[in-house]
Every structure is written in C-alpha cells, then in structure tokens.
Amino acid sequence: MGDTRTGFARRWDKIKRSWYKFSKNPLSIIGATLLLIIVLIAIFAPFVAPYPEHAGSFVDFPEASKPPSWKHLCGTDVFGRDILSRIFFGFRFSLAMGIVVISLTAPLGVTLGLTAGYSKGTWVDTLIMRITDIFVAVPPLVLALAVCSILKPSVFNAMMAISLLWWPWYCRLVYGIASSIKNEFYVQAAEVTGSSKLHILFREIFPNCYGPIFTKLSLDMGWVILIGSALSFVGLGAQPPTPDLGTMVADGGKYMPDQWWIAVFPAFAIMFIVLGFNLLGDGIRDMLEVEEV
C-alpha cells in the first residue's frame, strides 16, 4: 500500500500535527494571539493609531496631561500627545530591536556552540568556550550602558551593545546539547559513512536542538525588549521624541503618581509583549517535541 498523498498533503498533515501539539495548552494560544495583535498593530500603526502624527514631534499643550478618556484612551502626556498612538508606534521599535539582536546573535551563537560541542575535548572546544566564558562574565546591562555612554546614545547603538553580549548564551545552550548528542549512534553512523563535518553539524545535530533554541528565542525577545527599554529608561537608547516604550516609562516616572497614566500604560505594553513571547515560547517548545508513539 503506497503513500499516494502528494508532498503537499504530507506537509499539511505535519502542520496539523504541530498545531495540535501547540494548542494543547490554551495559554500558548493566548500568547500567540496577543503577539499577533501586537505585530499587526506594529505593522499597521500609521493606520490603526488614532493620532498617528503624535508619534513624532507634536505639541498640543491645551490637551496635555489629560487622563484617560474616550478621546484619548490612555490619556495624553505632557506634550499633549496621545499615549495610545505612541504605544502603537513604540511596538515597532521594541519588536525591531528584538528581531535585529536575535538575528545577529542566534546564528553566531548556535554555530559556535555546535562547533565547540562537536569538537569537545579539543583545542577548538577550549578556545571557543573560554571566549564565551569571558563574555558571559560581563553583565549585559552594564556593558550596554558602557558602550552607549561612549558612543552616541541611539537605538542602533543600544542594539549593537546588547548583541555583543547576547550570543554566548546560545553558544552555551547548544554546546551542552551538541556534546551529548555527538555520541549518539546516528551521529556515528553518519561519521562512519563518511559524511562531511558540515552535514553532521547542521543536518544531524542541529535539528535536535530546535526545541531549546526556539524556546530561548521567544523568551529572549522579551528579554531584549526589556533591556532595550531599560537602556532607554536611563536615557541611553532611543532619544526623544522617538516613541520608545522604555523612554515613555522613564519620562512618565517623573509624573507619578498624579499623572500615573503616562508611565503605567507604556509599562503594561512592555509587559504584554514580554508575556506574549513567554507564552508563545512554551507553545513552541511543546510543538517541537519529538513525539513518542
């Protein structure tokens, strides 16, 4: 009895199975939905924000520091800018920061981790892991602060600073898995048959690291955004009038507790992004689990 399904049918079945695994935990769906909403808002910000022009330099002093109302759902800040609209645009910066940092650091960290793990016990392993140790020893926020205070404070520099310190964690994560997998029979089977090192690293070992890597990726998005916000909070990230969530919390802090809405709503926005990614991360981990039948 042959498999008469087309390649498409097979792929669709795989997708359905993955969805089943993902959706077993309702929280994962909540996280995914939350993130989907945030991403859509970020992409379509100019169209969905009630006052898109408020995202940049804008002043309207008569409307300044107004509490939440039907006209301004999250109130206005001291310049009269609609906070909800600024939050929508703020999502763009936060997500961009997360994506840029992760896309720079994850591939580098994973590749180094695979190489070091597979060469465990040789000088390659020692070299890579000691370099990793050096980077790990420095607290990210501190280095980011240092870098940003030397260079001009900007979102770009903040992202570079964070990237510098982010890759070692991927390296370590993958190193652990790779060094234990390399003794599995299927890796030895590939070696014995003469497969290239590249094949073994990326086609045999790497796919078995998907779970932890993707989980970490999604959690990291939350962390990077928090650290970026922290940098902005101390003035080293996005500069005004950029509608960055961290900056908004920082500025709004001065007006607590009377004009609480100026800081509190952006803070919630940060919380929702991080929460969304965390819940999504759990779901992805479930989805990537190898099923035992």
Binding site for another protein (CB under 8 A): 1-3, 10, 17, 20-21, 184-196, 199, 203-204, 207-208, 210, 290-293
- Min dist CB 190 to another protein, Å, is 6
Name which of 258 and 291 has its Cβ closer to another protein. Answer: 291
Residues in CB range of 198: below 8 A, 6 or more apart:
none
- Min dist CB 201 to another protein, Å, is 13
- Min dist CB 207 to another protein, Å, is 4
List phi, psi (to 5°) of 76: -125, 160
- Min dist CB 140 to another protein, Å, is 32
3-state secondary structure 114-155: HHHHHCCCCHHHHHHHHHHHHHHHCCHHHHHHHHHHHCCCCH
Name which of 118 and 167 has its Cβ closer to another protein. Answer: 118
- Min dist CB 187 to another protein, Å, is 8
Name which of 44 and 186 has its Cβ closer to another protein. Answer: 186
d(CA 293, CA 35): 32
d(CA 244, CA 232): 8
d(CA 76, CA 193): 67
What single-letter DSSP state applies at residue 231?
H
CA-to-CA dists, residue 78 to 1, 230, 238, 244, 256, angstroms: 73, 21, 18, 16, 12
Name which of 21 and 216 has its Cβ closer to another protein. Answer: 21
Name which of 199 and 254 has its Cβ closer to another protein. Answer: 199
Name which of 36 and 189 has its Cβ closer to another protein. Answer: 189
- H or E element that contains 278: helix 261-287
**Cα dihedral: 39, 45, 48, 53 (round 10):** 160
d(CA 263, CA 67): 12
- Min dist CB 135 to another protein, Å, is 29
